[in-house]
Structure 1
Amino acid sequence: TFPKKVQEVVKEKIYKSNVILHLNEEVKEIKDTQLITKKGLTLDYDLILWAGGPVSNQMYKDAGMSVDEKGYMVVNQFLQNIDFEYIFGAGDCISIQNFSQMKKVGVYAIKEAPYLWRNILNYFYCKSLESYTPQNEFLLIISLGNQKGILSYKKFVLNGSLAWKLKNYIDKGFMKKFNSEF
C-alpha cells in the first residue's frame, strides 16, 4: 500500500542487494532449506524473510466482537470495542469506525497509545473518555540499511542518507520519551 515511488526504490534496493524477491506467492510447505509454493515451484533458500503484512486474529470474531471485512476488531472513536465497552484496542489489531480504510502503519499505533492509556484509566475511574481522530496524512520513513532511507510525505519522496538521519533522530527521540515515562 506504499506509494509507487517508494515501492520502486525499495524493490531496486532489494534487487541490487542480490536478494531474490518473490511476490504474491502462496506457500504450501517449508522443508529444511526448501520452500514449496502452491503453484509447485520449489525454492532453495539460506534465509527467508517473510513479509506478509498485518493479519487479523480470528479470536475477535470467536469472542463475539464485531469485526470489519478483514477480521479486525471494530472500535469507536474512544478506541473502545463497539460491543463490549470494557475492551479497548489500538494499532494493527483494530479498525476504527468511520476510518476503516486506515493503513496499518506504526504511526497510528504510536499516536493512539496515549489515548488508549488515558481512556482505560478514565473508564476505570468513571471519567469522560477522550476522542481519537486519526490524521489523514503521515510521514513514512523506511530504513534501507547502510544509513540510507526513503521518506514519503503526500507526493514528496526523498531517498538517501538525509531520510535515514531524520528517521534515526525521530526514533531516538521517541525512545528517550518512552524511557523517561517509566
Structure 2
Amino acid sequence: MASSSATTRHLVLVGGGHSHALLLRLWRERPLPGVRLTLINPGRLAHYSGMVPGHIAGHYRLDEITIDLGRLADSAGARLVEGRATGIDREAKRIELGGGPAIAYDLLSLDIGIDTHMPDLPGFQDHARPAKPLGDFVAAWSNWCDALVRDAVAPRICVIGAGLAGVELAFAMRYRTGRLGRPAEIRLVESGRALASVGRRSRTTLLDRLRRQSILLEEETEIAAVTAGGVVLRNGERRAASFVLGTAGARARSWISETGLETHEGFVTVDRLLQSLTDPAIFACGDCAHVGFAPRPKAGVYAVRAAPVLFQNLRAALGEGHPRAFRPQSDYLKLVSLGGRVALADRGCLAVSGGWVWRWRDRIDRGFMRRFPTPGDSR
C-alpha cells in the first residue's frame, strides 16, 4: 500500500475495544478534515465484556451484548478492515496483518485487549478454553451447552482461577446449567488466595455464596496439566471436567514484544497522554496498555474513562487542539453478578447485595450498549 500523502493523514485504530468503540462515536460527531480513519479488527462484531457473564447465565441474547463495528465505523466515516494485526514496522509506519497486505499509518492507536491463554500449561491449548478473547469463549460455551442438553457431555466444569472474573463466571455457569435442567458440578481451582482483589466483607459474602450454590473451591492448588477428561493437579490428583475455562492472569498479545516499544510484562507502556514512551506516533489504551505513571488492574471501566482523553490526544497529535492528561481513578465500584438476577456491589469496605444491585448494573450495561449499533437493531 502506498504511504499516506502529505495532505491526507491516516489514523489507524487497531482493535475494536471499548475505548475505540467510544472514540468512533465521538469521531462521528467531530470528524477531523484531512484525516482518513481506519479500524482494524479480526471481525465486524465485538462483545461488551460487562454483559458477558449475563449472557453466559442466559439473561441476555448474544445480539444484545454485541457491537456491530462495521456499522459503527460507517457512521463515523471510517473504513473497517477485517484482519488480525501481527506486527508493526515502525520504520515504515505499517501495520502487518496476518494473511493480508500491510496498512500504512501516520498515527496509530492500539486497543487490542488481552487473552487468558495459558501456553505454558500442558494440554491447555487442546483441551481448555480461555475466557478471553471473548468471542471464542462465548462460542465455545454455546456449543458446550448444546452438547449438555443432548447429554453428549458430562455436567462438570473446572474454572482455572478464582479471582473476581472466575468466580462471577462460575456463578453464571451454575445458573445457566440449572436452567437447562442439567445443573453442573463446578469447581474453581486457584493457585493462591481466592478473591484477593476485593474487600474483606465482599470476599466473605462471595465465599458464602459459592458454598450455598455448591460451587467447589480449591485454593493454594496448582494445576499441572489439562487433559481430555479434566485437569491434573500438581500432587497427581485428577479433577474430572468436560469444560475447562482459563481465567487466571492476563497475557498481552505476543507480537507486541517484537515491536521494540517499551513494555511492562508485554503491555505497551504509555504516559499521561496514553502515548507510547518509545514512539510518539503510537498510542495505546484499554487492557493492552500499561499506565506506568499510575498502574491499575485490567478493567473495562478504565478503558471507558480513557476514551475521551484518547480522542482529544489523537486530535492534538494531528494538529487540532491541546492534549489532555489521563487521570485514572484509584479504585472503582465493582458490580458482580451472582448467577441469577442478584448482584453484589464492592468498593473498599462497602459490600451490599440484592436484586436491586443487579437491576442497577443492568441499567448501566444496557445504557452503555444503547450508544452503539447491534446486529439486531435497525439504526
TM-score after normalising by structure 2: 0.43
Report what 1:60 is aligned to.
256
- In the alignment, residue 293 of structure 2 is paired with which amino acid? N
User: TM-score, structure 1 length as denominator?
Assistant: 0.84
Rounded Cα–Cα distance in structure 2 between residues aligned with 1:155 and 1:169: 24
Following superposition, the deviation at residue 39 of structure 1 comes to 3.3
In structure 1, C-alpha distance between the alignment counterparts of 2:304 and 2:210, rounded to whole Å: 28
Number of equivalences: 179
The higher radius of gyration belongs to: 2
Distance 1:91 1:24 in 2: 30
User: Where does residue 285 of structure 2 map in the other structure?
Assistant: 90
Mark the runs of 5 or more structure 2 residues left unpaired by the alignment. Answer: 1-196
The answer as to 2:260 corresponding to 1:30 is: no
CA distance in 1, matches of 2:245, 2:200: 22
Q: 1:37 to 1:120 in 2, by over 3 A?
A: farther
Distance change >3 Å, CA 63–CA 24, structure 1 → 2: farther
Matched, 1:109 2:303: yes
Mark the runs of 5 or more structure 1 residues left unpaired by the alignment: none
- When the two chains are superposed, the root-mean-square deviation of aligned CA atoms in Å is 2.4
The whole-number CA distance in structure 2 between the counterparts of 1:147 and 1:49 is 23
Partner of 1:143: 337
Q: CA deviation at 1:76?
A: 0.6
Which structure would you say has the larger RCO, counting Cα contacts within 8 Å and 6 or more residues apart?
2
Tell me the amino acid that sits aligned with residue 224 of structure 2: K
Deviations 1:29-83, CA, capped at 9 Å, x for gaps: 2221221133322111133333213233443333222223x44221011111110
Larger relative strand fraction: 2
Q: Is the 8 A contact 1:141 1:152 kept in 2?
A: yes
SS in 2 for 1:103: coil
The reply on whether 1:7 has 2:203 as its aligned counterpart is yes
1:81 is matched with 276
Q: Partners in 2 of 1:18 and 1:146 — Cα distance? A: 15
Alignment identity in percent? 21
Judge conservation of contact 1:60–1:66 (CA < 8 Å) in 2: no
Secondary structure (helix, strand or coil) at the match of 2:314 reads helix
